[in-house]
Structure 1
């Protein structure tokens, strides 16, 4: 599982920072999560193949999270894209994007599928044989969702020496990897635990931006491998969190601790601060395993 930060600052683009956008590589997918201005430029800088992006997830309809989307959709057309593109986002995302395409006479030559979201409860929105994606309802000034990306459990691993020792026919190998016991011709039952080891532990990633402090999402985040959680403000400006619908670094760390996650990645910083390390210092007072997102930074799990 690899996470590439394309942008991780709040509000407006600057010469040294980009608004929210990131790429998650998991389960043979490349998912684009949010698409602030400048996203396609950053994709090129990181040499991420446009053709491999088939699913885009938009958290909410504030400009710093989706103003780069119509440009990316148009670029896909100019590059001769034929593969479908699936866009998941709040109700209204289809109207906004298609109106721009209509008035600029820029209709795509490839299938463009919108999956509009309106539920206030977590829901499964995408699934295949290796991965599932669910929403994480967030508390912001407008309707907003985070996203939980989770691998499905793989097959158990054969202990080949044990299997060969019992002279088990190869026809049973697949069912053994699926967790089934083996019944021998003489009636003996060979327990699956004798023949296999546990599958590779699944990985999961949760994206939570933008949101004020809300413990309701903790059960959805329980023991995720990595959590990206917004931390717009430091504690000295905590009074701004409630009014703006954002979180402080300490509040993000508190959520991470309550959910027993693996790694916390902070982001969505207000540009009023001189250093992102200040966010890390405050969060580590609550939760030990803290990283700070920065434009262009990569994380591998």
Structure 2
């Protein structure tokens, strides 16, 4: 099965602590790297996770709060110092270019590569990136400013050829791609050989959903249903539910309820408030509703 890894670079919330870095993740899909959010210190965590800078070409920013984007200018500058030549694509709310361009003009004169900004609509679910094997869509969230999550969805692979059946019917090589795409084969005698006799099913496709920051928002359930892994913020314990509502964040049990109702396979919670010294409390609360829950932590790698 092809590589589909989630690397946690930071999982803390706005206030820096000695336990956590601000929000950032890197998705390794078939050795192509995609960054989600870029909080302060992300490039340091990039190195600690032993991920190659050169394979990162796309960065997705969920919203323009500092703990999700203050690391961008440093990362962009480092890429230039390393002699990067490939274009870096950044997907974010339209205001990011207005904010970041003066910094690029001042601190990054003579850059060795281009930065291309792609405006995203945080109010709708749109495909914002697509290649032959992967699509990335926005997930509208509810926070104090325009915010969205991201759904990484693997595209269906071609069907697997049964070599013995190809040999049995002496099927020419020119027909193989059609058969992989689901077509039947008709012999010279006019006999139709059904595709399911010639092929087997490909591996199931995989999906990863990233949802941070947001208040409790059941409207996302249909879009993330059946995901192999859901990252959902759980900034507060249930005892601080009122504070969560005031700041447009989610509690542990609310995040677990989203995972349970969406029938995802696993939940990882993060974006922890600095007020909690023992995060096992947050995990225990979430597990009362959704057992397959784990805590995010720096340099954690999860394979789908």
TM range (shorter): over 0.9
Q: Which SS does the other structure have where 1:15 is aligned?
A: coil
Q: Distance in 1 between matches of 2:171 and 2:105?
A: 63
Aligned partner of 2:160 among 146, 157, 161: 157
- After superposition, the Cα gap between the structure-2 partners of 1:107 and 1:232, relative to the gap in structure 1 and judged at 3 Å, is farther
Alignment deviations for residues 127-181 of structure 1 (CA, whole Å, 9 cap, x no partner): 0111111000100000001000111100100111122222222221111111111
SS state at 2:80 partner: helix
Q: Secondary structure at the match of 2:138?
A: strand
Deviation of residue 12 (structure 1)? 2.4
Of residues 178, 192, 204, the one that matches 2:181 is: 178
Higher mean Cα deviation, 245-254 or 20-29? 20-29
Q: Which residue number corresponds to residue 41 of structure 1?
A: 44
Aligned 1:112-123 pairs, distance under 5 A: 112-123=115-126
**Partners in 1 of 2:230 and 2:111 — Cα distance?**
34
Q: Which residue of 2 aligns with 1:55?
A: 58
Cα distance in 2, alignment partners of residues 134 and 86 from structure 1: 15
**Given that residues 146 and 209 in structure 1 are in contact (C-alpha distance below 8 angstroms), is that contact kept between their aligned partners in structure 2?**
yes
1:60-209 aligned at under 5 Å gives the runs 60-104=63-107, 106=109, 108-209=111-212
C-alpha distance 82-183 of structure 1, shift in aligned 2 (>3 A)? same
* Equivalent position to 2:235, from 218, 223, 232: 232
Tell me how far apart the structure 2 counterparts of residues 93 and 182 of structure 1 sit (CA, whole Å): 53
Runs of 4+ in 1 over 6 A off after TM superposition: none
C-alpha deviations, 1:76-112, integer Å up to 9, x for none? 1111110000000111111111111223353532111
Q: Is residue 253 from structure 1 mapped to residue 256 from structure 2 by the alignment?
A: yes
Please report the TM-score for the alignment, with normalisation by the length of structure 1: 0.97
How many pairs were matched up?
301
1:278 to partner: Cα distance: 1.5
1:286 aligned partner: 289
How many Å separate the matches in 1 of 2:160 and 2:202?
Answer: 6
- TM-score, normalization: structure 2? 0.96
C-alpha separation between the residues in 2 aligned to 1:278 and 1:98?
42
Checking the alignment, whether the CA contact within 8 Å between 1:127 and 1:133 is kept in structure 2 is yes
Q: CA separation in 2, counterparts of 1:296 and 1:204?
A: 21
For the Cα contact (< 8 Å) 1:12–1:18, is it kept in 2? no
- Distance in 1 of aligned mates of 2:111 and 2:147: 27
Tell me if structure 2 keeps the 8 A contact 1:74–1:106: no
| Contact 2:186-2:193 within 8 A present in 1 as well | yes
Structure 2 CA distance for aligned equivalents of residues 60 and 232 of structure 1: 16
Q: CA RMSD in A?
A: 1.2
Q: Tell me the SS of whatever aligns to 1:61.
A: coil
